[in-house]
A and B are shown apart, each in its own frame.
Chain A
Amino acid sequence: MADNCAVELRKVSKAFGNVVANDNIDLKIYKGEILSLLGENGSGKTTLMNMLSGIYYPDSGEILVNGQQVTITSPRDAFEYGIGMIHQHFKLIDVLSAAENVVLGLEGPALLDLKAVSARMSEIARRYNFAMDPAKKVYDMSVSEKQTLEIIKVLYRGADILILDEPTAVLTPQETQRLFEILRSMKENGKAIVIITHKLHEVMELADRVCVLRKGCFVGERQVSEVTPQIMTDMMVGRQVTLNIDRPEPVEPEPRLRVRDLTVVNAEGITKLDRVNFTAMGGEILGIAGIAGSGQKELLETIAGLQPAAGGSILYTPKGQPPMELAGKHPMQIKAAGVAMAFVPEDRLGMGLVGGMGMTGNMMLRSWRQGKGAFVHRREPGALATQVKEDLEVVTPDIDYPVRRLSGGNVQKVLVGREIASAPSVLMTAYAVRGLDINTSYTIYHLLNQQKQKGVAVIFVGEDLDVLLELCDRILVLYDGKVSGIVEARTATKDQLGLMMTRLQEEGETDA
């Protein structure tokens, strides 16, 4: 068996700041086998594989390729060891043709023989039943064509170990089937294949062995022939943990935000939200679950007026007043209409805050326009900054110290503190506790509960199902831009959510 081991990871760890992405992971990848690396978002699958492909360098631990200890510090090193990875974000150059992208960075004669390259590409494409025009420019390609090109690129380099990061996310069912055929025939040729995924039916259909990660830790491995989707779900989401998050009963819930048939199409023409319907109630926390990229970001940004809606309506009903339409309004118009909406975006320093400014400057992001005259008023934001600093125990040397240099938890306290201080009637948060330590997380839950008790409609987009189940009143599950269901958080189970997120009930068992 030792001869058959293509790659071995021994006690590999990687941390980003104080967040441990991978904790002492042992993993073996065998030749002639398809390994599925399974886990929820943020479980550390991609980070782990990025250490094989040369994107990251492990903090500790060893990597062995074919039994030899190696150091992989760049993608080029990875290629030398026959490791090729296809990332979710394609690494292609738009203005170059497919063939040019394929030979990019390769050694060889000075003169480019694109004909020979094209011929070899076509041969690869034919062998694996791909369709690819080598002369086509990348900017003319669809997402799936780009992925095909990425795969050809790796095959062209003769990789023996192929890592695919959620490859089917962008493929049609037919293309997925074709990809699986390729992967199987590559397995027949003795290549080692790792597929990162959170779709259980793909694991069942394709993989030989499955390794499960959860929160940066290795949970276990099984032969696929010996497991059921149920067992894998349990491994993936873990046993339900009791977090002891307070959940006060909703106070006089009343409809605050009615979203009807909301459809959002992004700049590339891809439908990110497809006729979404729900009602957020004042005085309750509505959780939103779903695998990453299911439309959470678009949903919140469209409500906040930062993205245009392609269709549908967003009706906002203030307490005791007639409803008003928000769809089609800019953030300033929404504000001018008297809608007290607070939004804690996922990208804290890139969108919610100005990294180079201090707390005061960031408090002004909401109030800068207020007051008469040409000058900004610093006194109130300054007072607010001091108050937020004290109330939320923000650790900063000074309220004018650039927030970029604060730790992740303190950055989030500044952001949440500011948004809550605006006395919102709707509060939207995206991944509000991502990367935060336990104490700060509880502070955030507490703040959200306070808002809820004040009658605010809180929308909480989260990734940790345990938190969603204990904090929220109801949970909406998004799948591929559609609502796959809304459940009562008090009675729902983790399995139930996991299945709704992966649509195992409908697709996994019927379509697969």
Chain B
Amino acid sequence: MRSHREPLFHLAKQGDVSGRRAWAIRLASFVLAIFIGGLIFLFLGHNPFRAYGEIITGSLGRKTALRQTIKIAVPLLGTALAIAPCFKMRFWNIGAEGQITAGAIGATFFALNYANRLPSPLLLTIMGLSGVLCGALWALIPAIFKARWGTNETLFTLMMNYIVIGMVKYLQGGPWEGKPGSQIIPNFNNAAVLPKVLGVHCGWIMVLILTLFIFIYMNYSKHGYEISVIGESPKTARYAGMDVGRVTRRTMMLSGGMCGLVGYMVASGANMTLYHNVADGVGFTAITVAWLSQLNPFAMIAISLLLAILDKGAGTLQTAMQVPTSISDIITGIFLFCMLACEFFINYRILFSGGRKKEAKEG
């Protein structure tokens, strides 16, 4: 007679999560990631404690290791900062990889052609500006199509990556090739190499300045305000008299410009040359950095350092414990998965049947 069944549980958006609870959940996911990573080491027949110890000492233990770790973190942080305004606007720019490469091309052009003709500081400035401009223009293209015709920006920016990377390959084997047949662009003249500060190219100072800049830009500038409003509701933005298309184009240029600056830093500071893999996946990894930091610039410092430690530290496991270097990508992946998953438990709560009426009243 009675076929009375109630849904077992349902989900509701969590209204008010205390900061402490949110951080507790994040910490738990971090511990879980370490645990899963440990299981993998165990499975491979290694002592997980020793493996994690190696990762820490291998990345932070010695001065040279620490410098390498910072060198890995610098482009990650710079690119994550660049992506933040786009993501805040809900514009899914996954073209950072290409924008970095475009910036590197722009910088390399002057490094190769004007190295003997200009004093080093001026040359480095021009290279930087050229990198920024190339990155910005490369990013502007998808923004124009998105603003005008609503072309899917995720797919558009993704395609743009491989086009510009292909162009570098062409330059490597063609006009900019060093020794004929080498497929390699010659190393930059010393005048075109970023000076080192405390043993690491001075890009680290630039990204720290950028961190401050993005923090201020996003939180205190009129542009940042427009970006926040558009991200929340384009309808409200129009109501407030904002030009959504214009802001989209401008923000993408800013983002691409910053990526271009990162490309310049990597080419001039770290590699001292240009090759097709100049971005080396940073554009993609930085997206996860930006997202996991909740677009908070200071959290980005921590997360990019964490990923750099994993990357550098796990890389040393090869020599110390005969574990292939690629373990670092696996461990990184596990950390990313755990941290992505944990946001759910911060944003939603699971209500079991009993909690239903109460929920409706709270509304």
Q: Contacts of B2 on A, CB cut-off 8 Å? A: 69
The docked-state distance in angstroms from the alpha carbon of A71 to that of B2 is 9
Q: How far is the CB of B361 from chain A (nearest CB, A)?
A: 7
Task: Assess the B357–A59 pair: CB atoms within 8 A.
Answer: yes
Asked whether any CB of chain A lies closer than 8 Å to the CB of B3, the reply is yes
The docked-state distance in angstroms from the alpha carbon of A368 to that of B7 is 46
Task: Assess the B1–A350 pair: CB atoms within 8 A.
Answer: no
Residue of B nearest to A365 (CB): B240
Task: Assess the A69–B4 pair: CB atoms within 8 A.
Answer: yes
1-36 of chain A: CB within 8 A of chain B: 15-18
Task: Assess the B233–A17 pair: CB atoms within 8 A.
Answer: no
Asked whether any CB of chain A lies closer than 8 Å to the CB of B221, the reply is yes
Q: How far is the CB of B240 from chain A (nearest CB, A)?
A: 5
We find that the number of chain A residues with CB closer than 8 angstroms to chain B is 40
Query: Which one of A57, A345, A361, A376 has the highest number of Cβ atoms from chain B below 10 Å of its Cβ?
Result: A376
219-246 of chain B: CB within 8 A of chain A: 220-226, 228-229, 232-233, 235-236, 238-241
Give chain B's interface secondary structure class. Answer: helix
Q: How many A-B residue pairs have CB under 8 A?
A: 92
Asked whether any CB of chain A lies closer than 8 Å to the CB of B197, the reply is no
The docked-state distance in angstroms from the alpha carbon of A405 to that of B13 is 11
Q: Contacts of A70 on B, CB cut-off 8 Å? A: 3
Task: Assess the A350–B222 pair: CB atoms within 8 A.
Answer: no
Q: Contacts of B223 on A, CB cut-off 8 Å? A: 374
> A332, A361, A375: which contacts B221 (Cβ < 8 A)?
A375
The docked-state distance in angstroms from the alpha carbon of A345 to that of B240 is 12
Task: Assess the A331–B4 pair: CB atoms within 8 A.
Answer: no
A374-B222 contact, Cβ under 8 Å, with A354-B232, A355-B232: yes
Interface size class of B (residues with CB under 8 A): 20 to 34
Q: How far is the CB of A45 from chain B (nearest CB, A)?
A: 20
Asked whether any CB of chain A lies closer than 8 Å to the CB of B360, the reply is yes
Task: Assess the B363–A16 pair: CB atoms within 8 A.
Answer: yes
The docked-state distance in angstroms from the alpha carbon of A18 to that of B232 is 26
Task: Assess the B241–A71 pair: CB atoms within 8 A.
Answer: no
60-113 of chain A: CB within 8 A of chain B: 60, 68-71, 73
Q: What sequence of 0s and 1s flags, for each residue 330-366 of chain A, a beta carbon within 8 Å of any chain B beta carbon?
A: 1110010000000101010011111111000100111
Residue of B nearest to A356 (CB): B232
The docked-state distance in angstroms from the alpha carbon of A118 to that of B16 is 51
The docked-state distance in angstroms from the alpha carbon of A374 to that of B7 is 52
Q: List 15 A-B contacts (CB under 8 A).
A: A15-B360, A18-B361, A57-B7, A59-B357, A68-B1, A68-B3, A71-B3, A356-B228, A357-B228, A365-B229, A366-B240, A369-B241, A376-B220, A376-B222, A376-B224
Q: Lowest 8 A-B CB distances belong to which pairs?
A: A17-B363, A332-B241, A331-B241, A365-B240, A354-B232, A351-B235, A376-B225, A351-B239
Query: Which residues of B are interface residues toward A (Cβ below 8 A)?
Result: 1-7, 15-16, 220-226, 228-229, 232-233, 235-236, 238-241, 357, 360-363
Query: Which residues of A are interface residues toward B (Cβ below 8 A)?
Result: 15-18, 57, 59-60, 68-71, 73, 304, 306, 330-332, 335, 343, 345, 347, 350-357, 361, 364-366, 368-369, 374-376, 378, 405
